[in-house]
Structure 1
Amino acid sequence: MLRDFSLQSLFMGLLTAFVGFASSFAVVLHGLTGVGATEAQAASGLMALSISMGVCAIVLSIATRLPVSIAWSTPGAALLASSGIVVGGFNAAVGGFLVCAVLIVMAGLWKPLGRMVAAIPAALANAMLAGVLIGLCFAPVKAIAFNPFFGLPIVLAFIVVGSINRLFAVPAALAAFVLVLVFGVDIPADALAKLSGTLLPQAELVSPVFNIAGLVSIALPLFIVTMASQNIPGIAVLQVNGFEPRPGPLFAVTGVFSLLSAPFGGHAVNLAAITAAMCAGSDAHPDPARRYWSAIVAGVTYVVFGLLAATVTAFVSLAPPILIQAVAGLALIAAFAGSSMAAFKEPDTREAAAVTFLVTASGVSFAGISGAFWGLLAGGLMLGLARLTRRLKG
């Protein structure tokens, strides 16, 4: 293994971890607080996810000698932000996290469940994801309306740097957020004192509560979004770069690490999609057999970032919430564009996708169950009715 190590893989691994963490940790924090987590619980969840996905990447990359990049479920965190607090509060959300993790393990080990997930119409899954994301994507505009002197620098940094290199657009927005917070926001002295006392990580064990609301509003949509938007594309990225992974065992292991992080507030870890291309591509090393080191380095770096989660969360909490929501919204624009295009691409499924999108985006919950579930159900009924009608006419 040591002979396979290279400076090129070291650099790409560090870059992958930085981009992966900096571009989406704001989404994770917003998602966890959106389902009722306190600041301490959100910091614990961020720490648990970072450490879990780091160790998972190390274990899988060493075991398979493949550049297996692991990430937290960013679309899943966006789903949490749109779901709101369910009956039972954050404890019920953690119960949903655990059920989702069990489903991911089952999807990896039990082929019929994996085939059921793959059978969900891609148009409806993408429409649900787009409906979940659109609310967060409004945040940058709302931040400018809240205070142009705070919101504009964040948005402009994203636009200017993104026009040069899309990879660094969100980290640039995050850097602008830090500058706005340091030089623009009046931070009370007691808040600074609190920040200085949060350098060490604090794990918060959350007792899970299992109920229908947590199952239907959290577990099932989180499972579908994580599998459809992260795990399955993650396998595709590895295959495009010439690797032949066995999907089932990889899914199952990410589910196990999701189980380990859930009691501490982590929602889900999964195969990476975007950052996977960085570790699996030729930039990590010309020799494909040596690229796995980039994923190992990224995993080690994620663990280090996880140990700093309490400090990151405390620092972010000093700013008006709309500002970090703006960073999260900017991070999700590309995902929203991609899911929207995929949802409305085919004429035969366009109306059903529109129903799914609109019901999900409405944010309305019925019987304590979030709009994401009802959107997928309504779109599925619409699609089934349309197919039945065509069959009868034919």
Structure 2
Amino acid sequence: MLRILNDASLSAVVAGFVAVLIGFASSVAIVFQAAQSAGADASIIVSWIMALGFGMGVTCFFLSLWYRSPVITAWSTPGAALLATSLGSISYSEAIGVFVFSGVLVLLTGLSGLFDKIMRLVPLPIACAMLAGVLFKFGLSIFDSMMSDVFLVGVMLITYLVSKRLIPRYAVLFVLASGVVFVLTRSDAHLLSNIPFNLGTPVWVWPEWNISALIGIGLPLYIVTMTAQNIPGVAVMRSSGYHTPVSPLLSWTGFTSIVLAPLGGFAFNLAAITAAICAGDECHKDPKRRYIAGLSAGVFYVLAGLAGTSVVALFSIFPATMISALAGIALLGTIGMNLKTAMMEDTNREAALVTFLVTVSGVSFGGIASAFWGIVFGAICLLVSNIKKK
């Protein structure tokens, strides 16, 4: 406890809070759609939010504490999108069975150690190029949002540029504060009073097994979680200098998915976007003290889960343009650093560029996300280049 207090910093705590804010606000609507597709009523949807918040909070906190690095977990956003379009034909109990099955596959992947070995074979420039491609759209979202709300985003961007010059460690904090103040000053003064402040109740539902659903939905859920979430998540850690063993992290996220699936915890995985916020220089200059952001995110995730509907209502106050701009601004430094690392060496530059372009393109073959194919195409390009030289 004494070491945690000594390592704690306001910038790291803010980074954890921003990660939770962006993680919830940017995709909670997709989780709602997935739950409704499964046939969930209002009480069960609240149970989903509670299970997801608790699962992410516990894994963030204890994994970050154990490995002394910012290990940030998240729900599977592409997994939620998949479920929103796939669960309509099965019962809710069978949907729970799908969640458990996918969690078992992730757990087995972690226990086997195979994923860790594969990721060690990926050259750092390729991994950085893939991560830059994943994050690139968030950088663009700053100016896409400016088209819709030029004054709000303009204030946030100017705040970032000034605070980055004067007090860089707290730049994201001032950006967040400026956005909140701007939204509240131009909105109804009684906006906050309309938010319900109550705790939700978890709803446990036992799984049922439908072989067709396990293969047709559970297996794709596992694949998109691994390719679109865990691969970029590992790339974030590697590009930030953290060589935390991946297999135990996957094992714990898979185990958490199995345990919390009956409550609505459909899929947990390593985060990429929010992890980049907690692993960058803006969090703390000393990489050894950035694990505080993981502890902070864990606490805020648990609080968000316990608050249930109150948190969802609170996040709904902030416009989508503010959330998009905040995410993009918070990730500017990470995008630039990864592009620099990816393109630094002449020998790897072309392969890294191919990786970046394929990832940005969003191509999907066989239902597998572009992040995976970016690495595949980049590795092939690098292999051919090395053969030609020899």
Normalising by the residue count of structure 1, what TM-score does the alignment of the two structures yield? Answer: 0.70
Which residue is 2:92 aligned to? none
Q: Which of residues 5, 9, 12 is equivalent to 2:8?
A: 12
Which residue is 1:139 aligned to? 141
**Amino acid across the alignment from 1:129:** L
d(CA) in 2 for partners of 1:230 and 1:95?
Answer: 31
**For the Cα contact (< 8 Å) 2:230–2:270, is it kept in 1?**
no
d(CA) in 1 for partners of 2:183 and 2:140?
Answer: 21
Secondary structure (helix, strand or coil) at the match of 1:327 reads helix
Change in 2 beyond 3 A, CA 1:88/1:140: closer
Q: Which of residues 31, 34, 57 is equivalent to 1:54?
A: 57
d(CA) in 2 for partners of 1:335 and 1:95?
Answer: 38
d(CA) in 1 for partners of 2:45 and 2:140?
Answer: 23
Which residue is 1:380 aligned to? 379
Which residue is 1:242 aligned to? none
Is 1:333 the counterpart of 2:336? The answer is no
Deviation at 1:196, TM superposition (A): 2.1
Is 1:30 the counterpart of 2:26? The answer is yes
- Map residues 144-163 of structure 1 onto 2, 5 A cutoff: 144-163=146-165
Q: Which of residues 219, 226, 236 is equivalent to 2:233?
A: 226
**For the Cα contact (< 8 Å) 1:19–1:168, is it kept in 2?**
no
Which residue is 2:322 aligned to? 323
d(CA) in 1 for partners of 2:220 and 2:241?
Answer: 29
Deviation at 1:357, TM superposition (A): 1.2
d(CA) in 2 for partners of 1:131 and 1:283?
Answer: 27
Secondary structure (helix, strand or coil) at the match of 2:72 reads strand
Change in 2 beyond 3 A, CA 1:96/1:30: farther
CA RMSD in angstroms, aligned pairs only: 4.7
Identify unmatched segments of 5+ residues in structure 1: 239-245, 285-290
Identify unmatched segments of 5+ residues in structure 2: 37-41, 89-94, 208-213
Which residue is 1:287 aligned to? none
d(CA) in 2 for partners of 1:33 and 1:300?
Answer: 22
d(CA) in 2 for partners of 1:117 and 1:42?
Answer: 35
Which residue is 2:72 aligned to? 71
With 133-142 and 96-105 compared, the bigger mean Cα shift is at 96-105
Report percent identity of matched pairs: 27
d(CA) in 2 for partners of 1:382 and 1:294?
Answer: 37
Secondary structure (helix, strand or coil) at the match of 1:264 reads coil
Deviation at 1:119, TM superposition (A): 1.0
Which residue is 1:313 aligned to? 312
d(CA) in 2 for partners of 1:233 and 1:99?
Answer: 32
- Residues 100-146 of structure 1: per-residue CA shift (max 9 Å, x gap): 86566456533443211211232222222211211111122122221
Change in 2 beyond 3 A, CA 1:232/1:322: closer
**Amino acid across the alignment from 2:15:** V
With 203-212 and 251-260 compared, the bigger mean Cα shift is at 203-212
Change in 2 beyond 3 A, CA 1:30/1:385: same
- Residues 299-352 of structure 1: per-residue CA shift (max 9 Å, x gap): 545523442464333233234322211111112222212222222222222212
Which residue is 1:288 aligned to? none
d(CA) in 2 for partners of 1:253 and 1:12?
Answer: 25
Deviation at 1:354, TM superposition (A): 1.2
With 368-377 and 202-211 compared, the bigger mean Cα shift is at 202-211
- Residues 16-38 of structure 1: per-residue CA shift (max 9 Å, x gap): 44431224531453245468657
**For the Cα contact (< 8 Å) 1:52–1:257, is it kept in 2?**
yes
**Amino acid across the alignment from 2:129:** A
d(CA) in 2 for partners of 1:136 and 1:292?
Answer: 24
**Amino acid across the alignment from 1:343:** A
**For the Cα contact (< 8 Å) 1:132–1:360, is it kept in 2?**
yes
Change in 2 beyond 3 A, CA 1:185/1:140: farther
**For the Cα contact (< 8 Å) 2:229–2:271, is it kept in 1?**
no
**Amino acid across the alignment from 2:348:** T
With 296-305 and 335-344 compared, the bigger mean Cα shift is at 296-305
With 196-205 and 141-150 compared, the bigger mean Cα shift is at 196-205
Deviation at 1:45, TM superposition (A): 6.5
Change in 2 beyond 3 A, CA 1:43/1:18: farther
d(CA) in 1 for partners of 2:385 and 2:81?
Answer: 34
Is 1:210 the counterpart of 2:217? The answer is yes
d(CA) in 2 for partners of 1:365 and 1:294?
Answer: 33
Which residue is 1:241 aligned to? none
Normalising by the residue count of structure 2, what TM-score does the alignment of the two structures yield? Answer: 0.70
**Amino acid across the alignment from 1:329:** G
d(CA) in 1 for partners of 2:128 and 2:293?
Answer: 30
d(CA) in 1 for partners of 2:373 and 2:246?
Answer: 29
Secondary structure (helix, strand or coil) at the match of 1:268 reads strand
d(CA) in 2 for partners of 1:293 and 1:27?
Answer: 18
Change in 2 beyond 3 A, CA 1:226/1:331: same
Change in 2 beyond 3 A, CA 1:257/1:211: closer
